[in-house]
Chains A and B, each alone.
Chain A
């Protein structure tokens, strides 16, 4: 049984055109999977479905064997503890009027996680490489990279089994980006990761397997090193050609 199982999923916003069609893939427990596709190919939409924020118009999404049902409150609460997300923009993802402590503790409070919340927040901050004394500060006092660490701390504070990252390093400068990729790599030892990125270098550094998304369809799946070195689908080749070769420094 896979941790996340997306089967034949279709989706359209309202009565608009199909954004995702017949999409299928799995993420296994402990696996780190990359999702690559050009802008508008439906990556964020797919994550919204996987988070239960939107319902697929066809097909099913299973988490840990159970079909995801956004209408079922108690199962959703269980689900939310296990699946968390990190966004691209470290500015819009933190409430400017809340202190770091409250931001990171929000999932614990809302999901009524038992235990010492203060300690769990400190552990999460520690895990992302932030000083635990920062709980009383406001987001504006941090740099983009630090803010992204705060957002990651919030995502891992309830120890999810699956972490979704939507372009989570794209807004950062190069050296910060490398350090946040390293952070994701270390988190990948304790949870599964679905890592959406334009940055093929980051995907290569993090993910053993990669999915290539074109206009809401998966056109290629495979071992990252293999897909990057010998892409089969013309779309993948075009996508790779658009990236400077320098970016493929590292492989997992």
Chain B
């Protein structure tokens, strides 16, 4: 029905390139994240070298201001980012989609009320909601950060899910399903979810990127995972004071963050193209 203009003009070749590049970037982070479970170049808390060493064969990304190996911390940061992104997006997706569908099915006044509530919630940045949740809980840790980000994302997902679902519910195939005796729960499962998923998944990938960045921001503000969880945000914060004398400490976590976010978005775009029956064979 609606074909986003930006993807429609991409050739098939360009689309498969999107998928390959996305897979490569995300795959790299995934492999690194899994690897850190069994091996890292150094112990993340070990003072393995002098302070603020430049990159060398021993410390490929140099060392931080305490002399800990930076590559080790960035690798662990991958694991934290993937964990936080996946878990927060999963929470946001389930909560948001449920809420959005409820609103789409609700009677007029309830739908209006929910839509207004969502608009108000969305006016608060995800990060702000997450900060409030963390502040209200009994302390900064990884699961609080995940829950906070998931809650923060859910209104955005809900609003989109509501709009997409309302559009699907107007289709004649929904009426045909009803006259075919299909129950409402089955209609949601068979028709609504598969038809809102393409639009939703692209947004969820975007949210994943935002969640990773927001986690970095929470950590940067000291509201994320406490040490020794080497979140990229904390690395950036720690590198802040020495950014002119040893810029590598700020550059490498930044590159890691950006590469994961771009990778996720490429992957989502590529997957969506591939899974759309109307476009897979042209």
The minimal Cβ–Cβ distance linking A70 to chain B, given in whole angstroms, is 10
The minimal Cβ–Cβ distance linking B207 to chain A, given in whole angstroms, is 23
Binds A, one of B79-87, B114-122, B168-176: B168-176
For A, the interface residue count at a CB cutoff of 8 angstroms equals: 28
Separation of A138 and B176 alpha carbons in the complex (Å): 17
Most buried by A among B1, B177, B179: B179
Q: Of B1, B171, B176, B190, which one neighbours A85 at CB under 8 angstroms? A: B176
Separation of A100 and B181 alpha carbons in the complex (Å): 18
> Please, which residues of chain A bring their CB within 8 A of the CB of B177?
106, 110
Q: Of B176, B178, B183, B277, which one neighbours A97 at CB under 8 angstroms? A: B277
Given A53-B175, A87-B175, A140-B277, A95–B181 Cβ distance below 8 Å?
no
Residues 105-139 (chain A) with a chain B CB within 8 angstroms = 106-107, 110-111, 138
For A99, the closest partner residue in chain B by CB is B277
Q: Does B274 contact A (CB under 8 A)?
A: no
The minimal Cβ–Cβ distance linking A224 to chain B, given in whole angstroms, is 27
Q: Does B186 contact A (CB under 8 A)?
A: yes
Separation of A94 and B174 alpha carbons in the complex (Å): 9
The minimal Cβ–Cβ distance linking B249 to chain A, given in whole angstroms, is 48
Residues 77-110 (chain B) with a chain A CB within 8 angstroms = none
Separation of A151 and B1 alpha carbons in the complex (Å): 18
Separation of A97 and B272 alpha carbons in the complex (Å): 13
Separation of A83 and B180 alpha carbons in the complex (Å): 9
Residues 134-176 (chain B) with a chain A CB within 8 angstroms = 171-173, 175-176
> Please, which residues of chain A bring their CB within 8 A of the CB of B171?
92-93, 95
Separation of A51 and B186 alpha carbons in the complex (Å): 19
Q: Does B182 contact A (CB under 8 A)?
A: yes
Judge whether A84 and B181 touch: CB under 8 Å: no
Judge whether A94 and B173 touch: CB under 8 Å: yes
Q: Does A154 contact B (CB under 8 A)?
A: yes
The minimal Cβ–Cβ distance linking A100 to chain B, given in whole angstroms, is 11
Q: Does B65 contact A (CB under 8 A)?
A: no
For B, the interface residue count at a CB cutoff of 8 angstroms equals: 20
Q: Does A237 contact B (CB under 8 A)?
A: no
Q: Does A198 contact B (CB under 8 A)?
A: no
Given A96-B195, A96-B277, A97-B195, A80–B180 Cβ distance below 8 Å?
yes
The minimal Cβ–Cβ distance linking B234 to chain A, given in whole angstroms, is 43
> Please, which residues of chain B bring their CB within 8 A of the CB of A69?
none
Judge whether B176 and A154 touch: CB under 8 Å: yes
The minimal Cβ–Cβ distance linking B37 to chain A, given in whole angstroms, is 37
Most buried by B among A88, A93, A96, A138: A96
The minimal Cβ–Cβ distance linking B241 to chain A, given in whole angstroms, is 53
Q: Does B27 contact A (CB under 8 A)?
A: no
Q: Does B278 contact A (CB under 8 A)?
A: yes
Q: Does B12 contact A (CB under 8 A)?
A: no
> Please, which residues of chain B bring their CB within 8 A of the CB of A106?
176-177, 180, 182, 190
Separation of A97 and B176 alpha carbons in the complex (Å): 15
Residues 140-185 (chain A) with a chain B CB within 8 angstroms = 140, 151, 154
Q: Does A89 contact B (CB under 8 A)?
A: yes
> Please, which residues of chain A bring their CB within 8 A of the CB of B178?
53
Separation of A146 and B141 alpha carbons in the complex (Å): 58
Q: Does B59 contact A (CB under 8 A)?
A: no
> Please, which residues of chain B bring their CB within 8 A of the CB of A95?
171, 173, 190-191, 194-195
> Please, which residues of chain A bring their CB within 8 A of the CB of B176?
85, 87, 93, 106, 151, 154
Q: Of B172, B180, B186, which one neighbours A107 at CB under 8 angstroms? A: B180
Interface residues, chain A, with chain B CB atoms under 8 Å away: 51, 53, 76-77, 80-81, 83-85, 87-89, 92-98, 103, 106-107, 110-111, 138, 140, 151, 154
**Nearest 3 CB-CB pairs, A to B?**
A93-B172, A107-B180, A138-B277
